[in-house]
Structure 1
């Protein structure tokens, strides 16, 4: 990893001195007008990524809105759009094991899923000792100056903030992983292949730290930005209606794999009728070509967007433990 331990320790000390002040001033987690669903723990701790506000604000900023898509009052399925304050929702374990996971929910770059690919996985991880950080990232079609790099800017900044504040969360700054789902899987893979690319101007000491995750797990990921395998909605919202071949290549993670990319865990269902399984196969082939360690799990059934809740009762339900066993060998623990 290309982060310097001395810088990490100094940044962590500064963060611990400012911790109480920063916690009190953070933007609350996204919430629907009717409030959070009953019965399950909700995050009470958030971290705003950009202390002076997110860079490159559109001339007409979007308005954050949360939609509850579930008809069952006991099963939440919220989606948030119009994010102007990108932030992390934090799930602390009772007994931290020193590892952390940056969770990147999907939503086709149209919105960011809150529960199914965010909070549910965060609860699963925190119950097993990992500190989980759910990323609510800006959406590229909202007109941010960074354009299609705006999501990667938030993901890079999130990794650096987690490392900077490792003392606040009893973390080893070298043991921060990334996991993403669908379009969030694309962003996860983008982070794990373009971690060293400068996508924003540094704003503070955190930006001296590395953004490379110790390992990456894109789950049923969007990958290709070219036909025939591209997910049309994600492609258009990320790149616009008529992107150039160069722009497509720049935002197809399998075409940008460096030799120092972290180990990958790839998961997909072969009957996925939204994001073709070929997206994962393209990524696997590119990683193998560069000599990057990769473990791939393809399940016959599962469809798209199974996360945890839709995997129940199917063979694909084994995937979280498969990931956990694999992660032990990457240094995450």
Structure 2
């Protein structure tokens, strides 16, 4: 990685020394999003959360929001929850029994209209922890819900989350440098946006955690929304992120394929060519932009899989291999 490892670790230690005054990690945190329905037996459910902004997000709301969780599954053994109206953005923590020293921040999708809890959040978090990774599932604010920060709303949450993970690395037995990002669909857009604009000044520093880098060790946008070009953009995500009539400059600023810096982290890309929701051209363009900058990129395009396959909808198809391909790849770059 191109940021100075000594600076990062020294900053982490300095932040930890200031932690009692800056961030009270023992303070009561907002519970995970949930419903009243009983959860399937035998599946680990998170109980540990980290609020991103103890004094509230650095933005104003146009109108009052109420956090709402909906259950979309009728199968009592399979949950498919989604949340919207998040006003207290937070991470839900999944700890492995035997930490391998690496962490992954997961940004679920939902078209920037909602955030999927189970399919692209908790399920992949459980898969990661079973393999030694500490997983942090991020419930970010949605840019179309009236925040004054507009299209920078979710990125501010993602940057802050990465910095908090590093700030609290000792609490989770992780190396503060080895923190990756993984995102799905619109959460893949957020993951790719963080991979390119990790240093963009989208909020004002407020405490010791903000002295740390928000750059992921590596980024894995999975079937991601990337381009805001109307020809291939996911229309709903584009409208909720940028509004109904964005300028060409605004489209470019929020298309990760057009904002790749020379120092971007390595990327792992996965997409199904029969995706009828987010065209595969989104991933193809991001790959081309990364290659043009000389950024290491591993790309897997599958003939079949559709959109939103995650783990459960990939079973029995060649695309089912993608998590193991990711795990093999991260070992080659010194992360796994």
TM-score where L is the length of structure 2: 0.96
1:70 matched to 2:73: yes
Q: Deviations over 1:176-197 (max 9, x none)?
A: 0000000000000000000010
Query: Would you say the 8 A contact 1:49–1:88 is kept in 2?
Result: yes
1:317 matched to 2:290: no
Question: What's the counterpart of residue 130 of structure 2?
Answer: 127
Q: Which of 297, 301, 310 is residue 298 of structure 1 equivalent to?
A: 301
Query: Would you say the 8 A contact 2:22–2:208 is kept in 1?
Result: no
Report deviation, 1:54: 1.1
Question: What's the counterpart of residue 276 of structure 1?
Answer: 279
Query: Would you say the 8 A contact 2:102–2:174 is kept in 1?
Result: yes
Query: Would you say the 8 A contact 1:12–1:163 is kept in 2?
Result: no
- CA-atom RMSD, angstroms? 1.5
Question: What's the counterpart of residue 335 of structure 2?
Answer: 332
Q: Which of 199, 206, 214 is residue 217 of structure 2 equivalent to?
A: 214
Q: Tell me which stretches of 4 or more aligned residues in structure 1 moved more than 6 Å.
A: none
Report deviation, 1:252: 0.2
Question: What's the counterpart of residue 265 of structure 2?
Answer: 262
State how many pairs are aligned: 332
TM-score where L is the length of structure 1: 0.97
Q: What is the distance in 1 between the residues matched to 2:138 and 2:56? A: 16
Q: Which moved more, 1:107-116 or 1:17-26?
A: 17-26
Classify 1:243/1:69 alpha carbon distance in 2 versus 1 (closer, same or farther; 3 Å).
same
Q: Which of 2, 9, 12 is residue 5 of structure 1 equivalent to?
A: 9
Q: Deviations over 1:27-58 (max 9, x none)?
A: 00001133544431110100000111112130
Question: What's the counterpart of residue 90 of structure 1?
Answer: 93
Q: What is the distance in 1 between the residues matched to 2:310 and 2:62? A: 36
Question: What's the counterpart of residue 115 of structure 2?
Answer: 112
Question: What's the counterpart of residue 34 of structure 1?
Answer: 37
Q: What is the distance in 2 between the residues matched to 1:108 and 1:74? A: 25
Structure 2 portions without partners, runs of 5+: none
Q: Which moved more, 1:250-259 or 1:53-62?
A: 53-62
Q: Deviations over 1:91-148 (max 9, x none)?
A: 0000100000000000000000000000000000001000000000000111111100
Q: What is the distance in 1 between the residues matched to 2:324 and 2:121? A: 17
